[in-house]
Each structure stands twice: as structure tokens, then as C-alpha cells.
A and B are shown apart, each in its own frame.
Chain A
Amino acid sequence: MPAVSMTVNGKKVSADVEPRTLLVHYLREHLGLTGTHVGCDTSQCGACVVHINGESVKSCTVLAAQAEGAKVTTIEGLADGDKLHPMQEAFREHHALQCGFCTPGMVMSAIDLVKKNKNPSEKEIREWLSGNLCRCTGYHNIVKAIAAAAQTMRG
């Protein structure tokens, strides 16, 4: 089996994996990072969003082998000890989740949005979330949380 190595949440990792191993399965099953979820498994719902070299991607649609040498960040890599990332804090503050299943993907996707667009409008936030499905909240508080986090992150 071929070896893959990458940096996940700042830590160098490597393993021998089957070529067909998806990045999300490598993260969850080999590294035990189960914060990244598999919702639809068809590249639509966005529960599996992680960052590869700083860019949000659906880790159910990337082979682990394709992330060779990359820097991967998952939901587990955001908080600084007990201090939540501003996006996580905003999701808590604004009650932007109910069951929480889509939340890791929402947070990872939203951080990428704010990195690219420091002051997104409500419309821009809603458009950006076209790749993240939530079946509980109706998105309202998610949008509010992202706008609030963007403000905090602008400082």
C-alpha cells in the first residue's frame, strides 16, 4: 500500500493507505479526527469540509493520496486550547446549530469565506453556503453567526 504523508492541524502524519482511501476516511478512521463528518457522501452536503492548504474543500471527494504533502486543517485544529476560534464562538453565541451534524463543515466553509471576503453581505454569505446543507436551523442563525464572526475577525 502506498504511503501518504501530510500535515494535519500542524502535526506531521503519515500512513500506508489503500489508494481508494478518501481524505475524510483517513482523517476519521486513521487519525481519529471524527469532527469532520460524512453526511451525503455525494459531494453535496458539505459536512466534510476541511481546508487543504488554506482552501475549503469537500474531503469526501478528495483521495488521501491527493493530499500528499499538503497542510490540512480540520475543525479540531481551530481552537487555541480552551479558547474557541471566533467562528466557533459566534456559532455558539448565535445559536447557529441544533443537531450539530453540519456544523464542522459550516464553520470550516465560513472561515474560508471570511478569509476571502472580510465583510460579506447577507446575500454573499447565503450564496457561499450553497455547498453546505443544514436540515435543522433554516440557516438564519448560521448567517447571523458568520456575519458576527466576520466583524470580530476584522478586529
Chain B
Amino acid sequence: MYAFNYHRAKTVADALKLYKKADDPKFLAGGHTLIPTLKQRLARPSDLIDISGIATLKGVKVSKTAVTIGALTPHVEVATSSAVKKAIPALAGLAEEIGDPQVRHRGTMGGSVANSDPAADYPAAVLGLGATIETNARKIEADKFFKGVFETALKDGEILTKISFPVPEKAGYMRFDQPASRFALVGVFVAKFKGGVRVAVTGAGPCAFRVPAMEKALSAKFAPEALEGITVPADDLNSDIHGSAEYRAHLITVMAKRAVAAAK
């Protein structure tokens, strides 16, 4: 790790003030992506602003229509919340499968979403449920949030504060693990709302994306067989030693069918 200055922020306002004063700062939440990145010297921030102690950014609230999760809520809290399990079981199930128990104790939802790792799980739920991302400055729709590899609509110095997930009639998430890291080689989140179905894919492209052809078919008939023959072109998909773009394209349809079958 390169050297950096460390600051602890007590409030969002405090964090923003510290951020403005520093040369090339980064916010530190659970640190389970940022610290490994720093250890590999892939980033060299001048200052780390630790926001993990800001109490107002933690916690889960569930109403009849939405599950709202504070950005600093660790995965374990979403995974084990009986209210989340009841309202959106697929969301609790997704959180339960991130990393391993120790990673889930520290890693945060906001950190994962703000980072937009191409193989992260949470972006599939954010996009699949059509969530609303709140920051210190504004609200951003999920459809306008993910921009590319590690790239989001967040501006420099903007803090993700919470995410509100609409409660669907049913939803399912299925992930095909990259066998070594257990990150998503392909993960598909399917959500059925009164007004239609949303399908979001992670692991396969530069960032999470929707599949309109599948949404249309599932809106007409919410069953795995409705997806028969519907594929995503391999052209823009990721290709690496773990799987070719064509393999990932094939997996999208397979995992989408399984997600529909598992939806509840």
C-alpha cells in the first residue's frame, strides 16, 4: 500500500468537507474492495475518508411498497433481516451469497453498488428491481446509474446514502459462480411487478444491464419456457479465461430460466 492520510467522518456533511479539502481522496466504507485494491497498489489516493462510522447511513426499513437500505448496511444485515426475507426474499438471498461470512460482516451494499464491479451481485438487484439510488445531493433511477466498468452516475465527491427497492410480486436471483473466486460469471435477477417484468444481468457485460426481449416475453407469460430461444448477442459481452462471451451469452438464458423458476 502507498501511504495516505486517514480521516474519520462523523456525519455526511463532515465527510463532504474533508473530501473537498483533500488532494485526491477516496471514501472508505466497509473497505472490502478498496483495501484489497490499495494493497495491490492499483490506486493511490492521497486521503481516505472513513465514512463507516456515520450512523445515519446504516439500517434497513421495510414498508408495504419498498425496502430501503442504508448505504453502509453490511451484507449480513440484509441477508439475515426477517423483514427483508419476507418482503423481497431474492434480495436477502442475494446478500447471503456474496463472498464469505467474514466479507459479509464488513462489505456494504453502498460500497458494492458505488463500485459497479462487473461481477458484483447487488447491481443486478438494483437494476432488476428498478431501485432508486439516493445520494447526498439527489435521487438517481437505477436505469441511469450503471455506466460501465467500475463507472456509475455518481459525481466526484458524491456519497451514496441509501437505496430504495420497490417490493415486487415475486423475484428470483440465480448466479453461476466463477469457480475460483465465486464472483458471478453470470447472474440474473428477475422481478415480476404488476406493470411488467424486469430482467437484469451481472457478470456478463461491462456493468449490469437489462434484457428487454426477455422482459417482454416474461410479461406475457411468467414461466421459464417463455424464455426458450431468447438469447443475448455475445458481441459486447465479457470474455476471459473463465468463460468466452458466447458461453456467457448461453448462460444468461439458462440462469434467467432458473431465476424465473426460483422466483417467490
Contact with B along A111-155 (1 / 0, CB 8 A): 011000000000000001011100000000000000000000000
Interface size on B, residues (CB 8 A): 25
> B31 touching A66 by the CB < 8 A rule?
yes
Contacts of B39 in A (CB 8 A): 41-42
Residues 73-105 of chain B: 1 if any A CB is under 8 Å from the residue's CB, otherwise 0? 000000000000000000000000001111101
Task: Given the known inter-chain contacts A2-B6, A20-B1, A68-B8, please indicate yes or no for A62 contacting B102, CB distance below 8 A.
Answer: no
A56 to chain B: which residues have CB within 8 Å?
101-102, 105
Q: List the B side residues contacting A63 at CB < 8 Å.
A: 6, 28, 31, 35, 48
How distant is the Cα of A35 from the Cα of B35 in the complex, in angstroms?
22
Task: Say whether A20 contacts B2, CB under 8 Å.
Answer: yes
Q: Given the complex of chains A and B, what is the CA–CA distance between A128 and B36 in angstroms?
A: 22
Contact: B6 with A19, CB < 8 Å?
yes
In the assembled complex, how far is the CB of residue B54 from the closest CB belonging to chain A, in whole angstroms?
A: 13
C-alpha spacing A55/B80, complex, angstroms: 15
Bound CA–CA A131/B101 (angstroms): 7
A16 within 8 A of partner (CB): no
Instruction: With CB as the reference atom, state the residue of chain B lying closest to A132.
Output: B100
A residues contacting B by CB (< 8 A) are 2, 18-20, 22, 41-43, 46, 49, 55-58, 61-63, 65-66, 68, 109, 112-113, 128, 130-132
